[in-house]
Structure 1
């Protein structure tokens, strides 16, 4: 396996250019992971194509570049377990592009796209996983079931973290704080206002305790005026009796 130190400078320059292009405009369903200190190992995450048993899966793979790359093809391996005719149990990838059909002019983008196409259209005739190849030809339903099972166990996309837990914790903390508060039955009530001096308010039938603490109502203007009129009438009658004594009856 090569490293940046023993790869030819022109190869390093070409790889750096390709990797930058892959990072800026990634192929559909492929994300390349780069180690700037070692271009000899290229990692990529491949999304399972829709409509295949690998749908909703993320598969990590790697390409190993030899010291005479690009004159010799890279070796490809799946690091994520997968049930596929052209991928061995140790992860080795069998595809003509990485073997007899290799051409030094082929770039990394082309290699990655060919590998993803294998998930769409396997080639059971050149199977590394004989069980998967035979099952694909004879019983596709069973092959698809096992492939989906592998995907669900080993390659399922991680679900985004929910904030429900944080909300629940906050709610719990709020409930705890509320339980620590003074119960309403124990909260001291303000003292009742003292009655006005001279008031003779008494509890009327049907009134509650709050009515007893009510401030005495001052007399209205109408009530005051009525007392004044009655007082003037009494004074007028006294003057009449004094000025016009009653006549005595004639016997």
Structure 2
């Protein structure tokens, strides 16, 4: 495997400086991957330029540096499949900057920018993909359609993680709770059917549930409400208030009886 040992020390020093600069201030639409142990292979992700068939795509490419770099140009390859006149089926890039127009003083930033510009303005005259070059010259609409198709299939940006997992979990929990409640109701109906008892109506179930809740909410040691016929939970008069009322009623009845006796005695005395 090629490493930094294949490059002269002065070249390694220059590359390290360039790569650091690219990492801190990347060119527009280009993100460079830095490997400190191997400067001979440089990876970059290129955003498809807006207004082109490559828009909304992210294309991975690499530059391979030879041992006598920068005297010879690097070789460029697209790793993401793309339909482009100047990019071969194996990903090799054909651009004059990497061939006859190469200059040892050109930096990596310039090379990457030229490759991105190639997506904006192809050169069908020097096509490595003859089909794409011919289609670009003769039927641009069809060329653009195929280029967009390749972009949509092969150059999709990585999908972001979904949000709302907590909401989804909560929804699933609520569904499970409803299913458990339904299962319990079904078991109750089955038990009642086996014992011959009538199945409770939904209203009766609701009333029972409400009463159970009221019993649970009642403080410990407190008196439960009584109805006129002694039923629990149907009257608003507490037993503590009902007892004095009954006592007063008994006292009134006794007073009336005594008064009647006195009146009878008075009538008897008058007759005498």
TM-score of the superposition, structure 1-length normalised?
Answer: 0.78
Aligned-partner Cα distance in 1 for 2:136–2:98: 23
Q: Does 1:144 align with 2:111?
A: no
Q: Does 1:15 align with 2:15?
A: yes
Q: Per-residue deviation at 1:131?
A: 1.1
Q: Per-residue deviation at 1:89?
A: 1.2
| Partner residue, 2:34 | 34
Q: Per-residue deviation at 1:28?
A: 1.1
Aligned-partner Cα distance in 1 for 2:159–2:133: 32
| Partner residue, 2:73 | 73
Q: What do you get for the CA RMSD once the two structures are aligned?
A: 3.8
Flag the structure with more relative contact order, 1 or 2, with Cα contacts below 8 A and sequence separation at least 6: 1
Aligned-partner Cα distance in 2 for 1:202–1:77: 94
Does the CA-based 8 Å contact 1:57-1:152 persist in structure 2? yes
Say if 1:220 and 1:162 are closer, same or farther in 2 by CA, change over 3 A: same
Does the CA-based 8 Å contact 1:57-1:151 persist in structure 2? yes
Aligned-partner Cα distance in 2 for 1:235–1:170: 76
Moved more, 168-177 or 221-230: 221-230
Say if 1:220 and 1:170 are closer, same or farther in 2 by CA, change over 3 A: closer
Larger Rg: 1
| Partner residue, 2:128 | 128
Aligned-partner Cα distance in 2 for 1:42–1:144: 29
Does the CA-based 8 Å contact 1:86-1:122 persist in structure 2? yes
Q: Per-residue deviation at 1:154?
A: 1.1
Q: Per-residue deviation at 1:6?
A: 2.3
| Partner residue, 1:246 | 270
Q: Per-residue deviation at 1:222?
A: 11
Unaligned runs of 5+ in 1: 191-200
TM-score of the superposition, structure 2-length normalised?
Answer: 0.72
Q: Per-residue deviation at 1:176?
A: 3.0
Say if 1:211 and 1:65 are closer, same or farther in 2 by CA, change over 3 A: closer
Q: Per-residue deviation at 1:100?
A: 1.3
Moved more, 179-188 or 110-119: 179-188
